[in-house]
Structure 1
Amino acid sequence: MKQIEKYRHKKILVLGLAKSGVTAAALLHKLGAFVTVNDKKPLSENPEAQGLLEQGIKVICGDHPVELLDEGFELIVKNPGIPYNNPMIEGAVNMGIPVITEVELAYEISEAPFIGITGTNGKTTTTTLVYEMLNEGSKKPLIAGNIGTVASGVAEKATKDNTIVIELSSFQLMGIETFNPKIAIITNLYDAHLDYHGTKEEYKAAKANITKNQTELEYLIINADQDETFEIARQSKAKIIPFSTKKELAEGAFIRDGWIYFNDEKVMEMDQIALPGVHNLENILCAMSAAKLSGVENKAIQEVLRTFTGVRHRLQYVKEVDGRKFYNDSKATNILATIKALAAFETPIVLLAGGLDRGNEFDELKPYLNNVKALITFGQTAEKLERVGREAGIKVIKHVDNVAKAVPEAFDLSNSGDVILLSPACASWDQYKTFEVRGDIFIEAVHKLK
C-alpha cells in the first residue's frame, strides 16, 4: 500500500456503511484523517458502527442530518447506493465538497494496476473469468469491487506484483476522480438503474467514467456489436480493442469457423468451452482479450474455458432432482439478463420470477417465453409478470409468497427433462437484502426437495 499523505489531518465524512464504508473509514483513519461516520441504522443495531467507535472514529447514527455538513468536511466518501439526490449529497455538492466512492480511495493507495470491468450484464462472469485466466497464467491477480470484496481493502494488501481485477457498477464509477485502469472493459450497455440515474444518458455517462482518465498507454475493450459502446470509445484516448459475437474483425476478439480468435490468432475451439449459454460468448471474448493483453498464454486461457462453468447466482447449475435440472440465476436483476438466461435452454422451462417494482413493465420478455411451460411469480412485480405471461400464452401461472415456496411448486408443475430456472428479472430488495440471499434461499429449497 502506498503511504499517501493526501488525507492526513483532513476532516472526512464517510456516508453510509455496509462493507465498503467500514473499510474506507478504517483505512482513512490509518492514513491520519479525522474521520466521521454517518449511517442511518441506529447505533444499537449497528455492530459495524460500534466497531469503528472502538477504533476511536467518530460515529453518528440514526439518520442523515443535513446540518452535519456545517462541521467543515473537506471530502465525503459515500456508499455507492446513496443517490446523488440525497439531501446530504446535494448539500455537499452545493458547498463545493468533493464526493467520491471508495473505489477512488483504492486506486490512490494501490501499488498494483487495475483491470476494470463494467457494463449492464455479464460483469461478474467476466470479472471472474479474467481473474481465473490471470491466475492460471501465474499473474498473481486479486479480485475486488462490486463482486463482494471491498476494493480499498484489497488495494491495502496489494503489491506491484499483483493485478487487481475489479467489477465496477455505475454507482461506483460516478464517484471517481483519478481512477485509471490499465485495461477497461465495457461488456454491453442497456437501459438499467434508471430509478437511480434518471435517464439512459446519465447511466451511459456514469459507465463512460471507466475510461475518462485513460491515455494511449491503456486499453479499452468494447462490444463491437453495440453503437452505445462505440460512442464511449470515440471519447476515449485509450487504445480500443473490440470484440464481437456476430462478425469477424480485423483486430480484437471474434468467432470464425467454430474457433475464438484474438487478432489473427486461433485461441480455442468453441466446442471445448464448458460455460453454457450464447450470452456468455460476450463474456468469454472480452475476458480473453484482457488476458491476452496481460500476457497470458493460450494454454492457460484454454484450461480455464474448459473447466469454468459459471459463477454463483449467475445461471448457476444447482442439481438434478428426478430428472429436473435446477438453475440459480438470482443475479438476473433486469429484463435483459432474464432474456439471456431463457435463451440458454432448448428444453421446457418452469420460470420463477419477480421482485422489486421499479416502475417498468415486462413486455420485452414476451418473445422469449415460448419455451416457458409454467410461470411462478412472487414479490412486488408478480401481477405485471403474470399479465405478460398470459399474453405470451403460458398456460400455467401461479403466484406464491416467496422463493422458498416457489421451489416445491415448480417441482410439482414440472416433468423429467424440464429446467426449473430462478431468473427474477428484478432486484431483490422488496423481500431480500441482496440477490445473493435470494439465490441461497433458492438453493436451500432445492436441496430440501425429496
Structure 2
Amino acid sequence: MDIRDLKGKKVAIVGYGVNHASLVLYLLKNKIENLTILDQNESKKELIDKDLKQYFGKYQTILGKNYLNNLSDFKIIFRTPGIPYLLKQIQTAKKAGTIIYSQTKLFFDLCPAKIIAVTGTKGKGTTSHLIYNILKDNLSVKVYLAGNFGKDPFDFIDEIRHEDIVILELSSFQLQDLEKSSHIAVITPITPDHQDRHKSIKEYWQAKLNLIRFQTKRDFAIICRDSNLSKKIKWLTKAQKIFYSSKDNLISGYPKQFIGLHNKQNINGAINVARILHVADAKIIASLMKIKPLEHRLEFVVEKNGKKYYNDSYSTGPDSTIAGINCFNKKIILICGGVDKGFDYIKLVKKIGKKIDTAIIYGQNKNLIVGLMKKYAKKTNLIICENLAEAVKCANDINLNDGLVLFSPASASFDQFKNASERGETFKQLVKNVKT
C-alpha cells in the first residue's frame, strides 16, 4: 500500500494509544483527511485532542463501548496490536470488503531501507538491543531501532534512506496479518504464550512464522535451534538459513554483564546478524563488552541486609522465569504472580520445588500457583501476599545471608500495573525503600 492509496478513502484507526499516535500524526501530515479514530475508552478524547492539536478539526472520533459496531462503513481499517486480527467484528468488516491493515504492514510497504526483524517468545527484546548496538557501532549508515522496543517507526520514517537499516522487534499481534517478510529475520525460541489472546498455540506459532514465510533466496532466516519448533519451520522459508544455539561458542569470551545461558543465546543470534553484514568478530566483541543489559531483565537492583535483589519484571511467562532461576547457584527467594495468560505452570512449580528456598506468591493467579505448589513443591517455604509491596516486605523480613531475591513474575502485569515496565519500576523503588 502506498500513502496515495489512502487519499479520498474513509480510514479508521481502531484503538488509540502508544501503537497508533505516531501513525495518526503521519497520516494527517500527509493530508489523509477522512480519518476517524475509534477507541473503547471515552476518556481518551482529551489525550487524542492534545496529541493531535495542530490537526484539530481534521479528524473524527468514535469512542465508547460500541466503537466497533460499524467497521464496514470504512474502506480501510488500521488495527492496533491490542485488537486481535481474528476478532469477530474485524472479520465481519473484512468479509464486507473493508481492507484490514496495520501500522506494521504499512511500515513494511513504505520503508525504503532493509529491515532486520526479530520475533519469538523469549529474548527478542535483548536480541534486538544487541543487534542495534553492534551495528550502530560498526556500520557507516544510520541504524534505527523500533517496534515494541525503541522508537515508533512512524516517528522517523521520513528520515530513512535506502542505504540505512531498520531493526524491528515484533510481537505475534503485529505479525498476524503480515504479508511481507524482512530481509533478515531472527526467530528466538518460540514457546506457548498469549493463550489468553490466541485461539490456539498453532495460531500463535503461525503468526510468528509470517516473519519468514515470504522471504526469498536473497534473504536470511536466523533461527534458534534450542526451540523444538525450529525443526518444523526450516522448510517454511526460501531464505538462506542460519541456526544458532546457547551451546555455540561463536566468540572467545562472552560479556559478563549478560548472565545466563539464555543471554548467550541472545548474543549468538545478534552475532549471526552482524556477520551477515560483514562486521568482524573483533569489532563485535568490542561492542558487546560496552552494551548495558536492558532494564527489567535480570537487572541487579541493590544489595541490602545480606541479600541481592534482582528485577526480572519482563519475565511474563514460566519459561523465562525458569531461565532466570537457572542463572543462580545461591539460595533464592522468588517473588512471582500476576495475570495468567493461559500458561501451564507445572514445569515452573517443579523447578521451584528443586531450587527455591522460599516462594512469595501474589497477584490474580496466586491461587493457581499455590495449588500447584502444594502438590509439586511441598518442601519450598510458601508465603502468600496480596500485592507486590507486601511481597517485598516479606522478602526483606526473611533471614537469608549470601542469598538473593528474584522478582520474576512468570505472569502478565495487568492486575495491579499498567505494564511490565511500571511493575519493574515499582519493585525497584520498593526495594530501595527497604530499611537496612
Task: Give the match's secondary structure for 1:305.
Answer: helix
Q: Would the aligned equivalents of 1:217 and 1:238 in 2 still touch at CA under 8 Å?
A: yes
Aligned CA distance change for structure 1 residues 16 and 66 (closer, same or farther; 3 Å)? closer
Q: Tell me the CA shift for residue 16 of structure 1.
A: 0.1
- The Cα offsets for residues 69-101 of structure 1, whole Å up to 9 and x where unpaired, read as 242x22111010112343431321221322222
Of residues 165-174 and 363-372 in structure 1, the stretch that sits farther from structure 2 once superposed is: 363-372
Task: Give the match's secondary structure for 2:19.
Answer: helix
Q: Structure 1 residue 284 and structure 2 residue 267: aligned?
A: yes
How do residues 316-327 of structure 1 correspond to structure 2 at under 5 angstroms? Answer: 316-327=299-310
One of 319, 323, 337 as aligned partner of 1:340 = 323
Number of residue pairs matched? 429
Aligned to 2:42: 42
Alpha-carbon distance in 2 for matches of 1:120, 1:324 = 30
Aligned to 1:430: 415
Q: Tell me the CA shift for residue 209 of structure 1.
A: 0.5
Identity of aligned residues (%): 30
Aligned to 1:371: 355
Q: Tell me the CA shift for residue 189 of structure 1.
A: 1.1
Task: Give the match's secondary structure for 1:326.
Answer: strand
Alpha-carbon distance in 2 for matches of 1:40, 1:183 = 36
TM-score, scaled relative to structure 2: 0.92
Q: Structure 1 residue 387 and structure 2 residue 389: aligned?
A: no
Q: Would the aligned equivalents of 1:215 and 1:238 in 2 still touch at CA under 8 Å?
A: yes
Alpha-carbon distance in 2 for matches of 1:62, 1:22 = 18
Q: Would the aligned equivalents of 1:219 and 1:239 in 2 still touch at CA under 8 Å?
A: yes
Aligned CA distance change for structure 1 residues 367 and 47 (closer, same or farther; 3 Å)? same
How do residues 12-23 of structure 1 correspond to structure 2 at under 5 angstroms? Answer: 12-23=11-22
Q: Tell me the CA shift for residue 61 of structure 1.
A: 1.3
Q: Structure 1 residue 78 and structure 2 residue 63: aligned?
A: no
Q: Which runs of 5+ in 1 are unaligned?
A: 247-253, 261-266
Of residues 223-232 and 348-357 in structure 1, the stretch that sits farther from structure 2 once superposed is: 223-232
Q: Would the aligned equivalents of 1:274 and 1:305 in 2 still touch at CA under 8 Å?
A: no
Task: Give the match's secondary structure for 1:159.
Answer: coil
Aligned to 2:386: 401
* CA RMSD between the two structures: 2.1
Q: Which runs of 5+ in 2 are unaligned?
A: none
Aligned to 1:269: 253
Aligned to 1:182: 183
Q: Tell me the CA shift for residue 430 of structure 1.
A: 1.4
Alpha-carbon distance in 2 for matches of 1:215, 1:109 = 19
Of residues 212-221 and 61-70 in structure 1, the stretch that sits farther from structure 2 once superposed is: 61-70
Aligned to 1:418: 403
Aligned to 1:130: 131
- The Cα offsets for residues 227-251 of structure 1, whole Å up to 9 and x where unpaired, read as 41232221111111111234xxxxx
Task: Give the match's secondary structure for 1:234.
Answer: coil
Task: Give the match's secondary structure for 1:301.
Answer: helix
Task: Give the match's secondary structure for 1:241.
Answer: strand
Aligned to 1:221: 222
Alpha-carbon distance in 2 for matches of 1:310, 1:445 = 21
How do residues 104-115 of structure 1 correspond to structure 2 at under 5 angstroms? Answer: 104-115=105-116
One of 149, 161, 164 as aligned partner of 1:162 = 164
Q: Tell me the CA shift for residue 407 of structure 1.
A: 1.4
Q: Tell me the CA shift for residue 200 of structure 1.
A: 1.3
Letter in 1 for 2:13: V
One of 285, 291, 296 as aligned partner of 1:302 = 285
Q: Would the aligned equivalents of 1:38 and 1:61 in 2 still touch at CA under 8 Å?
A: yes
Task: Give the match's secondary structure for 1:231.
Answer: helix
Q: Would the aligned equivalents of 2:77 and 2:101 in 1 still touch at CA under 8 Å?
A: yes
Q: Tell me the CA shift for residue 124 of structure 1.
A: 0.6
Q: Would the aligned equivalents of 1:376 and 1:410 in 2 still touch at CA under 8 Å?
A: yes
Q: Tell me the CA shift for residue 117 of structure 1.
A: 0.2
Q: Tell me the CA shift for residue 49 of structure 1.
A: 4.9
Q: Tell me the CA shift for residue 319 of structure 1.
A: 1.6
